[in-house]
Amino acid sequence: MLSFPHHEAVMQYALDLACQGVGTVEPNPPVGAVIVDDELNEIASGFHSRFGGPHAEVVALANAGDRARGGTMFVTLEPCCHHGKTGPCTDAILAARIKKVVVARIDPATHAAGQGMARLREAGVEVETGLLERAARKLTAPFAKGVMLGQPYVHAKWAMSLDGKIATSTGHSQWISNETSRAKVHELRGRMDAIMVGIGTVLADDPLLTARPPGPRTAVRIVVDSHARLPLTSQLVQSAATVPVIVACTPAAPAEQVELLRSAGIEVISDSTRGETDHSRVSLKWLIDELGRRQTTNLLIEGGGELLGAAFDAQLIDECHVFIAPKIIGGADAKTPIGGAGMLSVPDASFEPLAVEHLADDIYIHTQSIAAVLR
């Protein structure tokens, strides 16, 4: 059993445990819980490991048994006090006679916020909040966006050269990053609910967009394609029977092409905010809301520059996964990762680093938007 030097160390351990549920608990949040005695010796711990499974608090209490009595529980998210797929955690905490609960983050769902803590306090349990709250917010940001905005949490990924190009001026881009970087992208894909690209990328690269090897989740693949130009011969269409593909188009897309795609097993959804004679592009706001209605927690946009630019302009990007390779591509017309209108002045840093890693000779920079942390 572990012994902790201070309260932050206990909560950090609970956060580390919570991370182990990422990829398997969604649309629930990852949560960790640690029960300690008055000298901060671990009595037991647990984490929420899969959607529909027991919550972290219940796992920790079950592991502690009678030893939980009089202990202090450190938990990364406010315990629930409602009946969901499992019983209320507050009841389990009270039944186990825990004397104090330390919470990192209050539940961001308005119907639940503060209620678990109020229930515990009413029953005489001492409750503290806010310990390592920012770290807990970072971890639960996808869950928070879902319950607060009804939208998926958007990850943007790109590989670029030292001079910030994602392809040559002819559109050639395979491969800019090295094998280690690409393996990391496959890991990322394996915990997504959806992976999206623009039709420009499909026409240039004919990507498969699956996780290889597979991860804990299988993402639906989405092509943003106003006029339903996705070729029937593309790898996406050819593999649609195994892994689903959605084409998001507008009512202006030719009906016969839409029918051909549907016959090939593609789900075609049409932007209801556009009319039949409206040749503007698919509204990303409409598409993101539609994915939210479909319970999409994590969405990965893999480019290209036009689609990512539109997503950035619409302030949809929550996290970036950037792979920088020691290559120089050059060319004024070569694509950069984020097109669109862009910012008019250099903004205050609106993304903060989560990780910077060397992946052989590439560098991986992982950032999260401040808005996502503060939400």
Ligand X SMILES: NC(=O)c1ccc[n+]([C@@H]2O[C@H](COP(=O)([O-])OP(=O)(O)OC[C@H]3O[C@@H](n4cnc5c(N)ncnc54)[C@H](OP(=O)(O)O)[C@@H]3O)[C@@H](O)[C@H]2O)c1
Least spacing, CB of residue 340 vs ligand X, in Å: 8
Q: Return the residue of 57, 225, 319, 362 that touches ligand X, per CB under 6 A.
A: 225
CA atoms in the 13 A half-sphere facing the CB of 233: 2
CA atoms in the 13 A half-sphere facing the CB of 327: 18
Residue nearer to ligand X on the CB measure, 12 or 283: 283
128 carries an active-site annotation: no
Among 215, 203, 155, smallest CA distance to 22 is for 215
Binding-site size, ligand X (CB under 6 A): 31
Q: How far apart are CA 356 and CA 16, in angstroms?
A: 18
CB 373 within 8 A of CB 141: yes
Q: How far apart are CA 122 and CA 83, in angstroms?
A: 19
Residue nearer to ligand X on the CB measure, 158 or 351: 158
Residues 188 to 207 in contact with ligand X, rule: CB under 6 A: 197-201, 204-205
Least spacing, CB of residue 201 vs ligand X, in Å: 3
Q: Return the residue of 81, 284, 338, 372 that touches ligand X, per CB under 6 A.
A: 284
Stretch of residues binding ligand X (CB under 6 A), selected from 22-30, 49-57, 299-307, 363-371: 299-307
**Of the listed 26, 42, 57, 78, which one is catalytic?**
57
- Report residue 192: phi and psi, to 5°: -95, 155
Q: How far, in Å, are 248, 254, 317, 357 from residue 367 at the CA level?
A: 28, 40, 11, 12
Least spacing, CB of residue 327 vs ligand X, in Å: 11
Q: How far apart are CA 370 and CA 276, in angstroms?
A: 38
Q: Taking CB under 6 A as the rule, does residue 304 contact ligand X?
A: yes
Least spacing, CB of residue 369 vs ligand X, in Å: 19
Residue nearer to ligand X on the CB measure, 33 or 307: 307
3-state class (DSSP) for residue 300: strand
Q: Which residues bind ligand X (CB under 6 A)?
A: 158-159, 166-167, 171, 173, 176, 197-201, 204-205, 224-227, 229, 281-282, 284, 302-307, 310, 335, 339
As annotated, the active-site residues are 57
